[in-house]
Amino acid sequence: MISLNGERIMALLLRQLYLYRRSLIRQLEIVYWPVMDLLLWGFVSLYVGRLRGGGAIAIAYLLGGMILWDIFYRVQQSISVSFLEDVWTRNLINVFVSPVSTAEFIAAMLLLGVMKVIVIGFLLAALAIALYAFNIFQYGLPLIPFVLNLLLSGWGIGIITMAMILRFGQGAEMLAWAIPFLFQPFSAVFYPVAVLPAALRLLAWILPPTHAFEGMRSVLSGGGIAWGHVGWALAGNAVLLALSAFVFAQVMRAAREQGLLMRIEG
């Protein structure tokens, strides 16, 4: 049985929030990349819309894909980069020699990811309205199942990324930024799966984020909630989260037995 102590989880969460409160650079990091992404893809969307004439749906697909992609990416980053913060400050050992359990440590980072997504989601939605007259809120509740599935996918990928950094050391820290973009070409973020070569479509359909983005396009085109995509995304995320928990547990056990926690901060 996994026992979670709410006070310890909140203490770990506050520890991360204090870092952001005292560092302007960290605060800017939360909004800088999302804003840059929105500006870039917003102008690309306008360009595509003008080329095709009456391309309102193309603009919706691109901007909607960009906003939902950033949700997935930032959730993954909240886990992997928060872990790296402890590595960089040589604080990892201090955390794990305390009464804090591994499950509590991860739970705090998952909550941090949710908080970041709320801030970033509303910021990007507001900018999309102001700059490009694209209101994602008008699609309402049908988008929520796909946003939640991307949240689950980001958690799973973030935990696996953290396990890989723990296993291979600081030399693998680039994976915190590289792994999410490994999924991007195959997850049909900005285009339907049909665009991919036939050999890659099976891989695309295996990935939970693919179903979230395909479902998003169904909503944006007025087709309503594609429950098939919701179901497949949930099933895929259940497997992903179970796999990520297993991988991290195995790596953490090996790290404790082999002294990897000492070496990763060395």
pLDDT value for 232: 97
Q: For residue 148, what are the CA distances in angstroms to 106, 142, 212, 216, 222? A: 18, 11, 9, 12, 20
CB 112, CB 20: distance < 8 Å? no
Is residue 1 situated within a structural domain? no
User: Which amino acid belongs to residue 149?
Assistant: N
Is residue 249 situated within a structural domain? yes
Run of H or E residues at 182? helix 175-183
Residue of 2, 171, 175, 187 lying closest to 76 (CA atoms): 175
3-state secondary structure of 257: helix
User: Which amino acid belongs to residue 87?
Assistant: V
Residue of 13, 64, 85 lying closest to 222 (CA atoms): 64
Is residue 35 situated within a structural domain? yes
- Find all residues with CB under 8 Å of 72, minimum gap 6, and list them: 150, 151, 153, 154, 180, 209, 212
CA 156 to chain centre: 9
Is residue 218 situated within a structural domain? yes
Residue of 14, 9, 207, 176 lying closest to 79 (CA atoms): 176
Is residue 85 situated within a structural domain? yes
Q: Where are the beta strands (DSSP E) in 141-202?
A: none
Instruction: Please give the residue range of the domain that contains residue 232.
Output: 6-264
Which residue bears the tokens 């999302």?
34
pLDDT value for 51: 57
Q: For residue 151, what are the CA distances in angstroms to 81, 157, 177, 217? A: 16, 10, 17, 18
Can you tell me the distance from the alpha carbon of 244 to that of 168, in angstroms, rounded to the nearest whole number? 16
Number of domains in the chain: 1
CA 245 to chain centre: 16
Q: Where are the beta strands (DSSP E) in 2-89?
A: none
Is residue 162 situated within a structural domain? yes
- Sign of the Cα pseudo-torsion (206, 209, 75, 185, in order): positive
Reading the chain (266 residues) residue by residue, the pLDDT tens digits are 677 888 888 988 888 888 778 777 677 777 877 887 787 667 666 657 665 555 677 788 888 998 999 999 999 988 998 888 888 888 888 887 788 888 888 898 889 888 988 888 899 999 999 988 888 888 888 999 999 999 999 999 999 999 998 888 777 788 888 888 888 888 988 888 888 888 889 999 999 999 999 999 999 988 889 999 999 999 999 999 999 999 999 998 888 888 777 766 65
The rounded radius of gyration (Å) of the Cα atoms in the chain is 19
Can you tell me the distance from the alpha carbon of 72 to that of 248, in angstroms, rounded to the nearest whole number? 20
The phi, psi pair for 188, rounded to 5°, reads 55, 45
